[in-house]
Structure 1
Amino acid sequence: MASQSKNNSGSKSGMSASSKSSSSRSTPSKRGFAAMSPEKQREIASMGGKAAHAKGTAHQFTSEEAREAGRKGGTAVSRDRAHMAAIGRKGGSSSRSASSRSMGDSARN
């Protein structure tokens, strides 16, 4: 009997190994939310938003809160001087190339 269960488990693992290799070649089937139609996803997401508002846990930024968040983000980014220098170089080279294109060849001579 022990040999029978050993053979069965061997055939099962052999079968799963072959099914794994064939499934890894093809695109895996979508599961859960991804398997639903876009309309069904929107419907469920809408219910979640409505439930959050009803519960009182939803939050909408006021213009003042958004302004403050943007200011904090800008301050954090501007601390990295190398990053800001790179941005300036890109902007400068872009504006130079645009102005030279608009002048044309006759204006440069």
Structure 2
Amino acid sequence: MASKNQSGNDNRGGNRGGGFQSMDEDKQRRIASKGGQAVSQDREHMSEIGRKGGEASGGGNRGGGGGGGRGGNDR
């Protein structure tokens, strides 16, 4: 039967001494900063894709004064 550690998780593999926590702080920071940069680049990329899609569908003209979407002639 597998033992459980203090947090209640199974400890099947034993303590291998690897992983993110065993790295020195500088290496952890370098890896974490790469992740932050990737997220930032992805946001800009997704924003650009959305903008192009909106322009292609004619959604670039929002609000503004035009007839409220019905055709215009009030009688």
TM tier, smaller: 0.3 to 0.5
- Higher-Rg member (1/2): 1
TM, length-normalised to structure 1? 0.28
Between structures 1 and 2, the one with greater helix share: 1
With normalisation by structure 2, the TM-score equals 0.38
| Bigger relative contact order (CA 8 A; separation at least 6) | 2
